[in-house]
Amino acid sequence: MTHPPFPFGPALLFCPADRPDRYAKAAERADAVILDLEDAVAETAKSAARESLVANPIDPARVIVRVNPASTPHLADDLAALRRTAYRTVMLAKCEGTADLVALEDFDVLALCETARGVLAAADIASVPIVSALMWGAEDLVASLGGASSRFPDGRYRDVARHARSQVLLAAGAHGVAAIDAVHLDLADADGLRAEAEDAAAVGFAATACVHPSQVDVVRTAYEPSRERVEWADTLLAEAAARNADGVFAFRGQMVDAPLMRQAEAVLRRARSRGGFEERTGDR
């Protein structure tokens, strides 16, 4: 099944849709801006936010618009406003099943699985052809369970949040769509954000959402493979090509087979996307 591509870099920055003065700055700072009609906008300001979205266009190739959940009366008005713009990539808040996507057939959709229902339905949601990515969210998830905190006092995610993160990543991978990691709300905790983003890149997330411009460079750096990792991947694949290896071989004291070569290829893809890799000359 063919899904729309996920064309964005790793750092996605939320921006309230009722702050048009920030649109262009956010888009310039990040790999894409998420203009938010949902949680960042008060109920009384949603109509004005939609008008701001229409009246202040920026490059649609760098814009995702988060629309309100299908369970609310706001979605129809959000979509009517969007059809007056060039924006065609939307993030559907609190997506809980395939029925929530019916009204979005004209758009490329990033489905936000951030409730218990949404996480359990993630695989079904990812199978819908208009979906290009899944994202998960910890705070709404825990709220949907009647809980009060997604993290331990030391900043680590509680087990239910870690489970949801993994389930959404697996559902995305199983259906060939991108996975987006959740926001890190502690703006002062750059080390925690860096660790989470490095882990996200290592296990296959395509991007991490940011809530403040100061987080963008931290995320970008975390997703960029180190020079040592790039050298390992490049040399491993060169060795495989030289051996014409289609099975197992030893490399630097490690047994290498097809899965490890695919991991090396993924490292080089990320390095190329960040401009940090020069192709070896030769047959490969």
pLDDT tens, residue by residue, 161-206: 999 999 999 999 999 999 999 999 999 999 999 999 999 999 999 9
pLDDT in tens, 100-144: 999 999 999 999 999 999 999 999 999 999 999 999 999 999 999
Strands 249-251 and 254-256: antiparallel
Q: What pLDDT does residue 257 have?
A: 78
Concatenated DSSP letters for 47-75?
Answer: HHHHHHHHHS---GGGEEEEEPPTTSTHH
Task: Tell me the C-alpha distance between 102 and 121, whole Å.
Answer: 15
H/E/C letters for each residue in 227-268? HHHHHHHHHHHHHHHHHCCCCCEEECCEEECHHHHHHHHHHH
Average pLDDT over the chain reads 92
Question: Are 92 and 112 within 8 A, CB to CB?
Answer: yes
Predicted TM-score (pTM) of the model is 0.85
Per-residue pLDDT, averaged over 149-153, amounts to 96
Q: What pLDDT does residue 249 have?
A: 82
Domain extent listing, the chain = 11-223, 227-273
Q: What pLDDT does residue 114 have?
A: 97
Query: For residue 284, what pLDDT band results from cuts at 50, 70 and 90?
Result: very low
Query: For residue 283, what pLDDT band results from cuts at 50, 70 and 90?
Result: very low
What would be the CATH architecture of the domain defined by 11-223?
A: Alpha-Beta Barrel (3.20)
Q: What pLDDT does residue 279 have?
A: 52
Per-residue pLDDT, averaged over 20-26, amounts to 97
Q: What pLDDT does residue 9 have?
A: 93
Q: What pLDDT does residue 1 have?
A: 67
Q: What pLDDT does residue 89 have?
A: 98
Task: Tell me the C-alpha distance between 7 and 38, whole Å.
Answer: 23
pLDDT in tens, 39-98: 999 999 999 999 999 999 999 999 999 999 999 999 999 999 999 999 999 999 999 999
Task: Tell me the C-alpha distance between 88 and 14, whole Å.
Answer: 17
Percent of the chain scoring above 90 in pLDDT: 78
pLDDT in tens, 245-281: 667 888 888 888 788 778 888 787 777 766 655 554 4
